[in-house]
């Protein structure tokens, strides 16, 4: 998709020395398909969005992730032109379209509700945007069958909406929204309410169909699984504004905001309270040293997060972050098990490979946490404090033990050898969702 875009617009680097500054600035702004500048929206005394600034890159699959009632649908309606902002501007390829009606913007749109015409057959519902634009009937028929084939609903074309299931209606709504020839497609939580198996299949069908679209996709959801499966870039919407926007792998691996860590991940990351003194982070499971931007002598309250794959099973606990846990619940997922357990008055979750025996419910086991996987946030502002995930550790317990943990510092301040620790493998399912194949992109 991005390749086609660069065929349309000049190479700014090559031509820069031959163009006036004003021309370069205008051309550079068109590298963003949609830009929102200082957007605010209220309904009476209720403020939904405030001071919102974001830009969607051309040719990207952008996902706006936020909890329910965070303002995602309002944001999409503003981009579509179905509503107007109270303040701010909306730009399309550098052109101000803030007060331009939806019909002139010509964006493809799939709303949360099916919004199908009950007196039209499925074929006519899908073809409606093309019929409205007075497109050639033969071309329209060809396009309808093509998109219906992609979504596997060709057998439904002669049915009426009342004869369809909820999942089938959603597929028809998707087909109608994607059939229009446009450079921008807006999908407002299109898979909400569908059963898991149907959503899982639509992940593949939707990605496959959109890979052939020469345009930008803006997709909203409150589901982190959809975000991990589909997104190129994520915009995290929280507290009436976008708190973080980065490529999906960066958001998952190095979240800059506490809310981002809480929202992105399946299952959600573990969170415990602690404190930071200088570079030493103290947790209920021990303490370790982290890289911080600025050290302070006074203790700082922090929130410490770590994902389920960071928890390791240790026969001999050598980690500076280690404890004993009591199993509360086992959730068998086939190749792996989610292990819900309690330790140090905190409820945690870890992955367990089914290739080895797992602790039984009510049983106790020893575990450790990879210090390099910690995400440390200011307990008040929620901003990330540790500079990176490549952290050195300072063992503080059991100083007489002969083994050392990976990255631990020995007496001569050199990294110690690898400890004998069995790890809970990162599930292939999670890795596959975050590292999608090139063919899906």
- The confidence score (pLDDT) of residue 257 equals 95
Beta strands in 251-371 (DSSP E): 270-277, 280-283, 286-289, 300-306, 311-313, 322-332, 336-343, 346-353, 364-369
- 420, with CB counted inside 10 A (0-12, 13-18, 19+), is exposed
Q: What is the dihedral of CA 255, 260, 265, 269, to 10 degrees?
A: 80
**Planar angle of CA 137, 140, 142, nearest 5 degrees:** 115
DSSP-derived secondary structure letter, 381: T
| C-beta separation of 238 from 259 below 8 A | yes
C-alpha–C-alpha distance, residues 68 and 192, integer Å: 11
Task: Report the candidate in 230, 233, 229, 260 with the shortest Cα–Cα distance to residue 375.
Answer: 260
- The confidence score (pLDDT) of residue 331 equals 87
- The confidence score (pLDDT) of residue 97 equals 95
**Is the pLDDT score of 28 beyond 70?**
no
Give tens-digit pLDDT for 380-434.
999 999 875 443 333 333 333 333 323 333 333 333 333 333 333 333 434 444 4
Give tens-digit pLDDT for 224-259.
988 998 899 999 999 899 999 999 999 999 999 999
171 phi, psi to nearest 5 deg:
-65, -40
In order of their start, the domains of the chain are: 267-426 (2.40.50.140)
- The confidence score (pLDDT) of residue 386 equals 87
57 phi, psi to nearest 5 deg:
-70, 150
- The confidence score (pLDDT) of residue 316 equals 56
**Residue 319, SS3 per DSSP:** coil
Report residue 312's pLDDT band, with 50, 70 and 90 as the boundaries: confident
Q: Which two tokens stand for residue 319?
A: 């980690």
| C-beta separation of 172 from 128 below 8 A | no
Report residue 294's pLDDT band, with 50, 70 and 90 as the boundaries: confident
- The confidence score (pLDDT) of residue 285 equals 93
C-alpha–C-alpha distance, residues 292 and 295, integer Å: 7
Between 74-88, 296-310, 396-410, the lowest mean confidence (pLDDT) is in 396-410
Distances in Å between the Cα of 345 and the Cα atoms of 15, 100, 137, 287, 338 are: 62, 56, 67, 17, 19
C-alpha–C-alpha distance, residues 215 and 155, integer Å: 28
- The confidence score (pLDDT) of residue 209 equals 76
Between 40-54, 122-136, 325-339, 371-385, the lowest mean confidence (pLDDT) is in 325-339
68 phi, psi to nearest 5 deg:
-55, 150
Which residues touch 390 (CB under 8 Å, ≥6 apart)? 291, 372
**Average pLDDT for 323-350:** 89
Question: In the 3-class helix/strand/coil scheme, how is 423-434 assigned residue by residue?
Answer: ECCCCHHHHHHH
- The confidence score (pLDDT) of residue 394 equals 38
C-alpha–C-alpha distance, residues 291 and 102, integer Å: 49
Q: Are strands 233-238 and 61-66 parallel, antiparallel or unpaired?
A: parallel
According to DSSP, the residues that pair with 413 across neighbouring strands are: none
364 phi, psi to nearest 5 deg:
-115, 150
Is the four-CA dihedral 303, 306, 308, 311 of positive or negative sign?
Answer: negative
**Is the pLDDT score of 145 beyond 90?**
yes
C-alpha–C-alpha distance, residues 161 and 221, integer Å: 25
- Tell me the average pLDDT of the chain: 79
Report residue 295's pLDDT band, with 50, 70 and 90 as the boundaries: confident
Give tens-digit pLDDT for 14-26.
333 444 434 434 4
**Is the pLDDT score of 63 beyond 60?**
yes
- The confidence score (pLDDT) of residue 426 equals 37
Question: In the 3-class helix/strand/coil scheme, how is 250-285 assigned residue by residue?
Answer: HHHHCCCEHHHHHHCCCCCCEEEEEEEECCEEEECC
Task: Report the candidate in 309, 325, 301 with the shortest Cα–Cα distance to residue 389.
Answer: 309
Residue identified by tokens 């997104």 is 231
Residue identified by tokens 């990207």 is 60
Q: Percent of the chain, pLDDT > 90?
A: 47
Is the four-CA dihedral 153, 159, 163, 166 of positive or negative sign?
Answer: positive
Report residue 315's pLDDT band, with 50, 70 and 90 as the boundaries: low
Q: What is the dihedral of CA 293, 299, 301, 302, to 10 degrees?
A: 40
| C-beta separation of 324 from 262 below 8 A | no
- The confidence score (pLDDT) of residue 188 equals 93
């Amino acid at each position: 998709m991005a390749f086609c875009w660069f065929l349309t617009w000049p190479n700014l680097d090559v031509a820069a020395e031959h163009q006036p500054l004003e021309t370069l600035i205008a051309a550079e702004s068109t590298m963003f398909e949609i830009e929102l500048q200082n957007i605010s929206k209220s309904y009476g005394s209720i403020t939904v969005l405030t001071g919102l600034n974001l830009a969607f890159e051309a040719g990207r699959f952008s996902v706006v992730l936020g909890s329910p009632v965070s303002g995602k649908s309002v944001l999409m309606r503003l981009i579509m032109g179905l509503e107007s902002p109270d303040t701010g501007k909306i730009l399309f390829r550098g052109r101000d379209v803030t007060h331009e009606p939806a019909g002139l913007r010509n964006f493809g749109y799939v709303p949360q509700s099916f919004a199908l015409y009950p007196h039209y057959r499925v074929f006519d519902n899908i073809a409606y945007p093309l019929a409205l634009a007075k497109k050639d009937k033969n071309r329209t028929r060809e396009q309808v069958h093509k998109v219906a084939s992609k979504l596997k609903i060709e057998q439904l074309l002669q049915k009426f909406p009342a004869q369809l299931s909820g999942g089938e209606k959603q597929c028809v709504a998707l087909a109608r929204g994607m059939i229009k020839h446009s450079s921008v497609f807006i999908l407002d939580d299109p898979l909400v309410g569908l059963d898991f198996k149907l959503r899982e299949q639509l992940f593949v069908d939707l990605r496959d169909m959109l890979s052939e679209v020469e345009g930008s996709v803006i997709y909203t959801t409150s589901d982190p699984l959809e975000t991990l499966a589909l997104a190129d870039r994520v915009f995290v919407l929280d507290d009436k504004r976008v708190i973080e926007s980065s490529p999906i792998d960066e958001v998952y691996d190095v979240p800059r905001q506490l809310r981002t860590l809480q929202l992105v991940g399946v299952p959600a990351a573990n969170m415990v309270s602690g404190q930071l003194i200088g570079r030493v982070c103290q947790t209920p499971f021990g303490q370790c040293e982290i890289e911080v931007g600025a050290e302070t002598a006074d203790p700082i309250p922090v929130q410490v997060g770590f994902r389920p794959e960071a928890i390791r099973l240790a026969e001999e606990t050598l980690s500076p972050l280690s404890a004993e846990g009591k199993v509360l619940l086992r959730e068998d997922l086939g190749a792996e098990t989610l292990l819900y357990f309690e330790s140090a008055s905190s409820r945690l979750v870890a992955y367990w490979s089914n290739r080895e025996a797992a602790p039984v419910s009510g049983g106790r086991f020893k575990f450790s946490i990879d210090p390099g996987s910690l995400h440390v946030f200011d307990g008040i502002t929620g901003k990330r404090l540790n500079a990176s995930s490549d952290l050195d550790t300072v063992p503080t317990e059991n100083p007489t033990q002969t083994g050392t943990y990976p990255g631990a510092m020995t007496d001569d301040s050199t990294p110690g050898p690898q400890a004998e620790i069995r790890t809970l493998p990162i599930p292939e399912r999670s890795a596959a969702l975050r590292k999608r194949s090139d063919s899906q992109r």
